[in-house]
Structure 1
Amino acid sequence: MQVLVVGENLLTIEDVIRVAHQQVKVALPESSEWRTLIQRGADFLDQLLEEEGVIYGVTTGYGDSCLVEIPPHQVHELPLHLSRFHGCGLGQNLDLVTARAVVVTRLCSLARGYSGVSFALLERLVWMLNEKIIPVIPSEGSVGASGDLTPLSYIAGALVGERDVYLHDQQHIVPISQVYAEKKMSALVLRPKEGLALMNGTAVMTAIACLNYKKSEQIALVSTLITAMNVLALEGNPSHFDEVLFAQKPHQGQQRIASQLRTWLNSEVQTAHQSPRLQDRYSLRCAPHIIGVFEDSKVWLRQFIENELNSSNDNPLIDPVNLRVLHGGHFYGGHIAQAMDSLKIMIANIADLLDRQLAQLVDHKMNHGLPRNLTGSSPERLALNHGFKAVQIGVSAWTAEALKQTLAASIFSRSTECHNQDKVSMGTIAARDASRVILLTEQVLAALCCASVQAIQLKGLSKNLTQVLTQFQNWVHESFTFVEEDRPLQNDLQTLVDRFEQLQFLHCDAFNALNMENDYAC
């Protein structure tokens, strides 16, 4: 297995994805320069303690309690208390993939050398990832400024031997104390500031943002493939994606979506046999304009997310070069909040686009010769069968819920902690909202995958598709078979959703045939 070195080089979204999906092991740098940097920060903190310097969160209480002095003989107990009193998270636990992403994201920040942590702490985080011993982290309880304090306390708590962990897989949850006992290991004793360094940062929202970004790339790709299939099934006009036409509106991402549709539809051939209709409905004609908003936003979304990923975002920072304590507000997750609030709108719009396409496919008044509700039944059994009627209702429900989730979380700042945290980012809630919108949109995608393939087969076009659409059709057929007689489609749909959630489409043979840009690949 490949090894990802964390500490000296910038990580990418794809690096986080690889660690989250257990595709690489993790290691710390071997260079003496990096190790010296880490040690200088830890030594500087020790020096300040010996000189009885006042250091926020080390010799003082936290937040509004920063004026409370901690007696020297109790300084070493403070990190343990921080991890304990923040152990109040509720809600659904982060799944194993997300929790792994959180751990490597926190490791990336601390390994930059400006948090004053010890080499031993960094090693223990690497050990967790490589041994597949991952803290169980409740998803709710962070306002996204002063960092993801409560959810990140579950990492700190696990390190000191007091919380539960996923052991190897998501089904096996055990107390970390049991793991330490079985491995004859001691729990980590946190040094002064290490509890704060672990918890006072943006790792949860940033990790979720990395996963959301990658899933959104997949949604954009699959929705474009589905649109191509539906243009064919609905006898649409490929000329709507003409190169000269799109050159006149120079959004590069939008142009890229139009180019994909031209290629996958083999538009030069199709145009010669196109429908006599001059203009298709907007959900076909304007698909590049809708999907293209995300495609064009990928540049700044990636910049926001990766800058946050590769930042030192706790407080105070410990400057190991100039030997200074720097008090600031880098725990504030405003950039992730903005990215996720924007992303969920883009993705919900794609869900709405596909919902409208399905409405065309199932309605015999506008589907240009397809049977009612895409039923594949024989004429003698047509009255009994209702095909995709309920699926279309389900898609409408999932789309409505996705749209409802798009209200910006960042505008709901709350004053907390005795008005010390009087303006907060809500970045973690924004990221969780975006995750929900993405899952709902994946459910819409799953339904449209089945409906589009069904429509293509009903029109007798299965053998006339371009190579890419043939590969996509085959990928869908791994989970879905043609609906002739009515049957429950729950398992077909859920299997497709699960494959999206595991990013399997980006790894399958269909993707290899697309010859797309490298940034689609995990």
Structure 2
Amino acid sequence: MITLTGNDLTVQEVERVVFGHEKVAISNESMEKLRKSRQTIEEMIKQKQVIYGINTGFGKLSDVVIDEDALDDLQQHLIDSHSCGVGEPFSESVSRAMVLLRANALAKGYSGIRPIIVERLIDLINDGIHPVIPRQGSLGASGDLAPLAHLAQVLTGKGEVFDQGKRISAIEALRREELEPVQLKAKEGLALINGTQAMTAVGVIAYLEAEKLALQSELIGAMTLEALRGIIDAFDEDLHQVRGYPEQQESARRIRLMLKDSQLVTRQGELRVQDAYSLRCMPQVIGATWQCLNYVREKLQIEINAATDNPLIFSDTEKVLSGGNFHGQPIALAMDFMKTGIAEIANMAERRVERMVNPQLNDLPPFLSTNPGLQSGVMIMQYTAASLVSENKTLAHPASVDSIPSSANQEDHVSMGTIAARHAYEIIQNVRRVLAIELICAMQAVEIRGKDKMATVTRRFLEDARRIVPRIDNDRVFSKDIEAMNHWLRDLSMEQMDKYVYPSSTRVRSER
């Protein structure tokens, strides 16, 4: 059971709730803060104070004062009018993460909502009711307005939800679980949609996949090093220690451990003095990606516990402050950083694929074919990898450098953070397919060298991967192999990866 306080939810707890379907509750302390915050709002309404979003219009219409008897209608109109998302819906995992993160942010007690709002969000999580939320339509400032409006619709019995992969009406799902739709009161609609939970939810899920990819790239790269009889001296501890980056040192050490009993790697001068950069510089490049991921994780950890709506209610001092905590720039920049950091894994992996298939760069059969000429072998796998890498270069263009004014120029700078997060996730899918291609090629090449000469770690990984993609003895439809390997890499957990990478008593990766 994860207890929400709004202050200490972790990335790993998000993972447990989203993918492990762990149940959620709200702390008693948070419930008291919610009641106190709501009381402050109601007192201000009685005193007829003019407060943005409570008894005024929104955005450029903030100067329009709303009659007291229309305050509840104002909130429902807000949710209806802002439900402008388009395109395919987010996955159920992203939707589930959005509900969790919104509940946690509201649990901080600065939003002026009634406790029933957070309780109902928690009901959605615990009952597996996942709102159907279109992916496109957020500017990433004033919050993720359109995506969160679609989420809020479900609380009121409108919209659609996923039910075991099928789309059904929200009211049908609520009735099935004996949950009453919520009638929104003053401030509650605005509190639900002012926030960065769409970009942050996508960001957390993307980060979790990216972290696993970085570790897989080291293991697959180690196998490629064996396939190409690479020089192990480039991973010597002394060399990496004098550079000074801990992430680089840890990456090099992991690769040394993976290859410690390999009979296929060589020493400098044995076959050649130096390897190409895509082999020799793996710790420097992948280590830099780990630095990027550490930065991203730090920003996500802050954001999932942040109060990001507007205005915020400070009950102890009876202040209601309008500001801009909904602006997604911190996450937009982090997502753009992650895009480039993770794309580099594929850039380097594709170059290693080229070195395995190009007969001018190795002593292996051309394109790893069993009958070169009659059969093309893995020739076109490299084409596919090159295409994915090139596509990533387009997706890696920073979304955060763009801004289009909205709401009659009242909201004249926006973050585009949700676009950055979505593109980061797309890049990650492309990177995994490139690694799947590298793994297929590395397995074929290393078996030509002699499987019995492999390191214990890489041989075990190969044996398990061979259950997914068999040895290439004849040309076949390789698209199926790439997708099968991609799905296998995706579905491996970090715990499973740890068992591959680390000897039983030696753990070198920093605790997440």
Residue 194 (structure 1) shift: 1.0
Report whether the alignment pairs 1:130 with 2:126: yes
Distance 1:364 1:333, change over 3 A: same
- The alpha-carbon distance between structure 1 residues 98 and 184, as it changes in their structure 2 partners (threshold 3 A), is closer
Q: Does 1:289 align with 2:287?
A: no
Aligned to 2:145: 149
2:210 to 216, 220, 229: 216
Any residues of structure 2 matched to 1:331-370 within 5 Å, and which?
Answer: 331-367=326-362, 369-370=363-364
Quote how far apart the aligned CAs of 1:465 are.
2.6
Deviation (angstroms), 1:23: 3.5
| Residue number in structure 1 paired with 2:410 | 420
1:258 aligns with 2:248: no
Distance 1:314 1:105 in 2: 13
CA contact (8 A) 1:37 1:321 kept: no
Match of 1:390 in 2: 380
CA distance in 1, matches of 2:153, 2:458: 49
Q: State the Cα deviation string for residues 421-466 of structure 1 (Å, max 9, x = none).
A: 1011111111111111111101111111111111111111x23333
Give the secondary structure class of the aligned counterpart of 1:487. coil
Query: 2:448 matched to 1:458?
Result: yes
Mapping of residues 492-503 of structure 1, within 5 Å? 492-502=481-491
Cα distance in 2 for partners of 1:470, 1:244 equals 27
Distance in 1 of aligned mates of 2:141 and 2:499? 39
Checking the alignment, whether the CA contact within 8 Å between 1:415 and 1:421 is kept in structure 2 is yes
Aligned-residue CA RMSD in angstroms? 1.8
Deviation per CA, 1:479-498: give whole Å up to 9, x if none: 11111111112222212322
Report SS of the residue matched to 2:409. Answer: coil
CA distance 1:4–1:486, change in 2 (3 Å): same
1:202–1:331 CA contact under 8 A, matched in 2: yes
Instruction: Give the Cα–Cα distance (whole angstroms) in 2 for the partners of residues 517 and 428 of structure 1.
Output: 34
| Distance (Å, rounded) in 2 between the aligned partners of 1:187 and 1:139 | 24
- The corresponding residue for 2:275 is 280
Offset at 1:69? 0.8
Q: Summarize the Cα distance change of 1:63–1:517 in structure 2 as closer, same or farther, 3 Å threshold.
A: farther
Percent pairwise identity: 32
Q: Which amino acid in the other structure matches residue 34 of structure 2? A: I
8 A contact 1:362–1:389 mirrored in 2 = yes
- TM-score by length of structure 2 reads 0.95
**4+ aligned runs moved over 3 Å, structure 1:** 181-185, 267-275, 499-502, 509-513, 515-521
1:365 Cα deviation from its structure 2 partner: 1.1
Equivalence map 1:41-440=2 (5 Å):
41-167=37-163, 169-170=164-165, 172-266=166-260, 270-271=265-266, 275-367=270-362, 369-375=363-369, 377=370, 381-440=371-430
User: In the alignment, is the contact (CA less than 8 A) between 1:364 and 1:370 conserved in 2?
Assistant: yes
Q: In 1, Cα distance between the equivalents of 2:93 and 2:490?
A: 10
Check conservation: 1:238, 1:267, Cα contact below 8 A: no
Structure 2 letter corresponding to 1:60: T
Query: Secondary structure at 2:401's aligned position in 1?
Result: coil
C-alpha displacement of 1:153: 0.5
Report what 1:483 is aligned to. Answer: 472
Cα distance in 1, alignment partners of residues 188 and 334 from structure 2: 29
Alpha-carbon separation, structure 2, partners of 1:407 and 1:513: 33
**Alpha carbons 1:471, 1:513 under 8 Å: kept:** no
* Partner in structure 1 of residue 18 of structure 2: 20
Q: Cα–Cα, structure 1 residues 105 and 184, in superposed 2: closer, same or farther, change >3 Å? A: closer
Contact 2:292 2:337 (C-alpha < 8 Å) held by counterparts: no
* Matched-pair contact (CA < 8 Å) for 1:61–1:70: yes
Q: 1:501 to 1:52 in 2, by over 3 A?
A: farther
Partner AA of 2:476 in structure 1 = R
1:488 to 1:519, Cα distance in 2 relative to 1, 3 A: farther
Instruction: Give, in whole Å, the separation in 1 of the partners of 2:465 and 2:507.
Output: 19
Paired residues of 2:117 and 2:182 also in contact (CA < 8 A): yes
Conserved 8 A contact 1:41-1:323: no
Contact 1:472–1:510 (CA under 8 A) maintained in structure 2: no
SS at match of 2:317: coil
Distance (whole Å) between structure 2 residues aligned to residue 8 and residue 220 of structure 1: 30
Cα drift, residue 319 of structure 1: 1.2
1:337-372 CA distance string (max 9 Å, x none):
1101111011111111001000000011112x2111
Q: How many residues align?
A: 508
- Secondary structure of the 2:476 match is coil
The answer (yes or no) to whether the contact 2:38–2:112 under 8 Å persists in 1 is yes
Unpaired runs of at least 5, structure 1: none
SS in 1 for 2:51: coil
CA distance in 1, matches of 2:457, 2:97: 32
* Residues 254, 501 of structure 2: 8 Å contact kept: no
Q: How far apart are the structure 1 equivalents of 2:446 and 2:146? A: 50
For 1:304, what is the secondary structure of its paired residue?
helix
Distance 1:196 1:431 in 2: 23
Q: Could you say if the C-alpha distance between residues 343 and 389 of structure 1 is closer, same or farther in structure 2, counting changes exceeding 3 Å?
A: same
Distance (whole Å) between structure 2 residues aligned to residue 84 and residue 475 of structure 1: 51
C-alpha distance 263-509 of structure 1, shift in aligned 2 (>3 A):
closer
Q: How far apart are residue 512 of structure 1 and its match?
A: 5.5
